[in-house]
Amino acid sequence: MLCLILSLLCQKSLVAQTENTSTLAAAKVKQIEHPNIKTQNTFRINSKKLEFSPTYYQNGIIYVTLGKEGQKIDGNIGVPFFELFYAELDGEGMPSNPQPFSAKVNSITHEGPSTFNFTEDIIYYTSNSASKNTKGKKTMKVFEAKKGTDDWENSQALPFNSDEYTTMHPTLAANGQRLYFASNRPGGYGETDIYYVENNGAGWGEPINLGPSVNTNKREAFPFIHESGMLFFSSEGHGSIGGYDIFAVNTYEKELEEIIHLGLPFNTESADFGLILNPTGTQGYFTSARYGGLGQDDIYLFDAPNGLFAKAAPTSELANVTVVEEADGAVIDNAGVYIFEKNKSGLFGEEDLYEVVLEGKADNQDEMEVRFVMKKEVGEPNFYTNQKGMIETTLAANQEYLLLVTKKGYANKELRYSTFGQPSPMEIKIPLSTKKCAAISGMVQDEKTGVPIANAKIFIKSNCDGTTQFVSTDATGKYEQCLPFGCDYILGAEKDGFNIGNTTVSTKNLTDDKLQKNMLLSPNGRPFVGVQNSLAKGSIIVLENVYYDFNKSAIRAGAAEELDALVTLMQEYPSMEVELMAHTDARGDAAYNRSLSRERALSAKDYLSRKGIAAERIKARGMGEVAIRNHCENGVECSDKEHEYNRRTEVRISKLSGTIGVRYSGK
């Protein structure tokens, strides 16, 4: 059914390409087979219709399928227009719960294969042109759209498109500087060729044909550029065994002389195309019309435990990190440098560097929040700077890092750094400012029993300018704050049920930049009223930062840190059972919002289950818009930020043996 997919091209080519037959050279084709690779039909999203050309996005894949029955029909092919759908992946990589990707991108015409930039806030996708060309036909073009607050916005055709020929199937290199695509533009070698354009920061340049080693006098289409530099594409040439076959070429080879035919199990006597591969090369998807599928074209999942190919590009790059004085740029030696790589949970470094913190919310004493907090003691630095203030190391290509620099007498400095598109060696300069305050820490305890007092409010008043700082003790009764040098301070602590305690502290003439001050509070005999000290059955934890796209139930990638913290908490307390209650804002129909919120609650439940929490410990409820937290009811004009405040997931503890300590949020 590939003629449906390439409907405009399956008629005769709209533009007769200039066939460079004189320069066509037989490429050196190496055929390989992968006997240890397992393929599976993605049966949860495939249908009797066509599903094809997946691309990675967030926690799932975007793919192309026919619109629903009853929607507008394309008179040329007699079926609904193609649309982009999104499906979230389970822990094994199997996609499920398909839903339309975007109301803005999915239009009244065809949408086809797509690709995203690294931060996934720009999409490049295939769609029909708005107008007909001189032959009365609408060509395919590559469009760009940017992610807005609620949906994709500002969709526009890229400058190298034309009404007179087709441009389609974009795929973007990891550094965002090169975009590959297929086209039947004049001057090619066959019916459609693979091209690329480069972006030098000022916009896209002129298309460049990949040449006769890749392109033949037949069709080449459906390119995918992998982080390794391997370009996968589909071709009817190069001795294909069944219409379109899947091939690969190493773009880091200067001449692109050797073309790799993927062989079994990827290529069959049927059409096989549209392969994508994860960054590690161990799992991916492709499209096939092979026998045994559910429909005309199906998407298949494959696992390659040993990797599909050896890395074509360097896996790491040299990096020179220099630590300097912020004031004058002088180098700083013997500074400790920690380097944390971003992991799949969105945290920097391993999870054992973090502790799960339950905090009472300052604005609502009946609610709590759970989150990861990096421990204050994270071990020895990975490096110390030399006399030139430098360290030399390697950083993985196409990765994000957190660099933490410490030095006595200086304020700690954190720097987030991405290696995407960076030259080698990378030159990273980190300025440190001299420390302008002393770290004061201590513990607040019950004077009679010596028991630490959690959630005590600490106030620190400066005798220099009269300002007062506030901080609270954690679950172990400890506090910490930074005080400017050269002043005397009044230090106080208060807590319901205790008399207020006062003392003094000074940062004048310090020989160190640290102070220790403990305080004892005497009970006053009055009953405690205030922020709850523990989590028990019936307690509510609010997950504010589990984000969903507007009108979507899938959790955004990197937006599930609080759910990961909840996983850790439930692993630590195996008796805990929870009820997930998802809330929407008031926009849209109430019945639709109930349905959407239920899907979101189920998505959160699935996420916890994939992380190892037994499904029977979790119930999911969709609350819709029944519990709006601010004034943004139906008909009330509100900002996007105000609406977002109402979109949250609440966790009600339905069962728990014992209690869990909670600290007061001093944020």
Q: Where in the chain is the domain with CATH 2.60.40.1120?
A: 437-521
CA distances from 263 to 194, 231, 329 (A): 21, 16, 57
CB-CB contact of 478 with 455 (8 Å): no
Separation CA 130–CA 113 (nearest Å): 18
Separation CA 516–CA 290 (nearest Å): 72
45 or 510: which carries more pLDDT confidence?
Answer: 45
pLDDT-derived band at 560 (thresholds 50, 70, 90) equals: low
Residues 6+ apart with CB under 8 A from 289: 1, 2, 270, 271, 272, 296, 297, 298
pLDDT in tens, 297-321: 999 999 988 888 765 666 678 999 9
14 or 313: which carries more pLDDT confidence?
Answer: 313
229, two tokens: 């530099």
Is the predicted pLDDT of residue 201 greater than 60, yes or no?
A: yes
SS3 604: helix
CATH of domain 316-354+376-432: 2.60.40.2190
Average pLDDT over residues 246-252: 91
CA distances from 334 to 319, 379, 415 (A): 18, 16, 18
Q: Where in the chain is the domain with CATH 3.30.1330.60?
A: 534-664
What radius of gyration do the chain's Cα atoms show? Answer: 30
Q: Does domain 116-303 have CATH number 2.120.10.30?
A: yes
389, two tokens: 């203030």
SS3 362: coil
Q: Where in the chain is the domain with CATH 2.60.40.2190?
A: 316-354+376-432
Class of domain 437-521: mainly beta
Average pLDDT, the chain: 83
Is the predicted pLDDT of residue 9 greater than 50, yes or no?
A: no
Q: What percent of the chain has pLDDT over 90?
A: 36
Q: Tokens 């059955």 belong to which residue? A: 537
Give the largest Cα separation in the chain, rounded.
Answer: 99
User: How would you list the strands of the sheet with 95-100, edge to edge?
Assistant: 51-57, 60-66, 82-89, 95-100
Q: What pLDDT is recorded for position 473?
A: 84
Q: Which CATH number fits domain 534-664: 3.30.1330.60, 3.40.50.300, 1.10.3720.10, 3.20.20.410?
A: 3.30.1330.60
Is the predicted pLDDT of residue 573 greater than 80, yes or no?
A: yes
161, two tokens: 């498109």
φ, ψ for residue 567 (rounded to 5)? -60, -50
- Kindly state the helix (H) or strand (E) to which residue 590 belongs, with its residue range: helix 590-610
Separation CA 306–CA 441 (nearest Å): 51
Contacts 24+ apart (CB under 8 A), 204-210: 204/158, 204/159, 204/160, 204/179, 206/160, 207/160, 207/181, 207/183, 210/256
316, two tokens: 């790491």
pLDDT in tens, 436-448: 888 899 999 998 8
Task: Centre a 10 Å sphere on the Cβ of residue 90 and count the other Cβ atoms it contains.
Answer: 16
Separation CA 487–CA 214 (nearest Å): 73
* Range of 93-102, 230-239, 407-416 with top mean pLDDT: 230-239
Q: What pLDDT is recorded for position 7?
A: 40
Residues 6+ apart with CB under 8 A from 563: 543, 546, 555, 604, 607, 608, 611
Q: What pLDDT is recorded for position 143?
A: 94
pLDDT in tens, 506-551: 998 887 778 899 999 998 765 444 444 456 777 888 876 676 666 6
pLDDT in tens, 70-92: 566 665 655 667 889 999 888 78
576, two tokens: 């805990």
Residue 55 C-alpha from the chain's centroid: 14
Strand 468-472, strand 413-418: pairing: unpaired
Residues 6+ apart with CB under 8 A from 78: none
